[in-house]
Amino acid sequence: MQTWLPAEFMQTSEGKAADAILRSCVHCGFCNAACPTYTLLGNELDGPRGRIYQIKGLLEGSPVTAQTQSHLDRCLTCRACETACPSGVQYAKLLDIGRAEIAKRVPRSVPQRLLRRALRWIIPSTRRFGLMLMLARALRPLLPSAVQRYIPLAKPSGVWPQVRHSRRMLILAGCVQPVLEPGIDSSLARLLDRHGISAVPVYAGCCGAVSHHLTAAEQTHAHIKTTIDALWPSIESGIEAIITTAGGCGAMLRDYRHILREDAEYSAKAARVTELCRDPVQIIEALPIDAAAKGRRVAFQAPCSLVNALKLEGRVEAVLQRVGFDVLPVQESALCCGSAGTYSILQAGLANELRERKLKNLYLAEPEIIATANIGCLTHLNAASQIPVAHWLSLLEMD
């Protein structure tokens, strides 16, 4: 597609990147069929091709309104459009540029600004999020049952084995997962320990994904740098990999190289973190794990981060199959469940519609359990599911 971006903007790295991405789009519309919001709303402006046009217009200086911003806000950043696109359009990078630009030109309402600020203040801090959850749990019995479902009960953290092997990997804990499901990382640590690999936990708070989704660049960079600083001594001591058990955090770590590419002090370190980052499945599929699950029926909800950002489609299902689970087919498996970071709070109506649709598809083959690979999807689905939802790593300890 032809572009007419302002000369001044074209001098910036964002301008050059946006121009290249816009030019790679041939407006064929193949992406629309893969898009959850286009599927639900049927409006071209709520699909990837329409959003690309709107971003092109706003970057070229056309007038924009709160309505334009709302079409961009409704995007889940699930990146299903990227997977579907035959021209390799890097939609998510363009959306980041478009959202940052429209944020400068269309002020949000005061309640919206306060809500977004509160989310950026609470969620990335394990301590603050933990306190809020503790308070909610204390009030839980007084609340209607429909609200209680959104307050998960406390879970055991499990035993973390001592560091005793020469092979070592880091497990980055992230922000909300240590509070909501502390047992996921220790399950992985025990599994690795049984196969001669010691896992070292790293608690550095948010990886930056929350503020990145909320278009807060300064805070995103600060979180990334804090994470890199926490990881760096172990990286220098020669660890093999950095593992994140939340697919969303894994996708974020993969973007560190790109996000800090112009930072004189951190660009090389960020690139090293991106190089070392692994999803658990990339480690586990190489281990000789015994089959112990004895045909239990599981439906796997593949998070968008795993499929579209990390490009690991089908890999977890293959491991589950290998260890004895009966992995059931899931219709519309590529459609986002609606969690998408803070989306389930900021766009609750659409998020709930997507969740209902996802759960119906997951129930179809009558699973005993639903598995997933991202804390956001797990919590979002569990709040409404009639069947327990667990991280697939927890399933590996079942017999």
Residues engaged in binding ligand SF4 (CB under 6 A)? 25-31, 34-37, 48-49, 51-52, 75-81, 85, 87, 89, 91
Residue bearing tokens 């919206």: 112
Q: Which of 219, 221, 213 is nearest to 346 (CA)?
A: 213
Distances in Å between the Cα of 350 and the Cα atoms of 74, 139, 270, 345 are 8, 27, 34, 10
Distances in Å between the Cα of 308 and the Cα atoms of 52, 83, 203, 305 are 18, 6, 26, 6
The CB-of-183 to ligand SF4 minimum distance in angstroms stands at: 30
Q: Which is nearer to ligand SF4, 280 or 303 (CB)?
A: 303
The CB-of-332 to ligand SF4 minimum distance in angstroms stands at: 13
Q: Which is nearer to ligand SF4, 49 or 225 (CB)?
A: 49
Q: Which is nearer to ligand SF4, 251 or 396 (CB)?
A: 251
| Residue 161 · residue 193 · CB < 8 Å | yes
**Helices 91-105 and 66-73, packing angle to 10 deg:** 150
* SS3 state of residue 376: helix
The CB-of-37 to ligand SF4 minimum distance in angstroms stands at: 5
Q: Which is nearer to ligand SF4, 52 or 173 (CB)?
A: 52
The CB-of-221 to ligand SF4 minimum distance in angstroms stands at: 23
Distances in Å between the Cα of 286 and the Cα atoms of 14, 55, 63, 67, 276 are 39, 43, 53, 49, 17
The CB-of-57 to ligand SF4 minimum distance in angstroms stands at: 15
Report d(CA 329, CA 370) in Å as an integer: 12
Q: Which is nearer to ligand SF4, 13 or 87 (CB)?
A: 87
Q: Which is nearer to ligand SF4, 347 or 372 (CB)?
A: 347
- Alpha carbon distance, N-terminus to C-terminus of the chain: 55
Q: Which is nearer to ligand SF4, 81 or 199 (CB)?
A: 81
The CB-of-289 to ligand SF4 minimum distance in angstroms stands at: 33
The CB-of-74 to ligand SF4 minimum distance in angstroms stands at: 7
**One-letter amino acid identity for 319?**
V
Which pair of structure tokens corresponds to residue 270? 């960020």
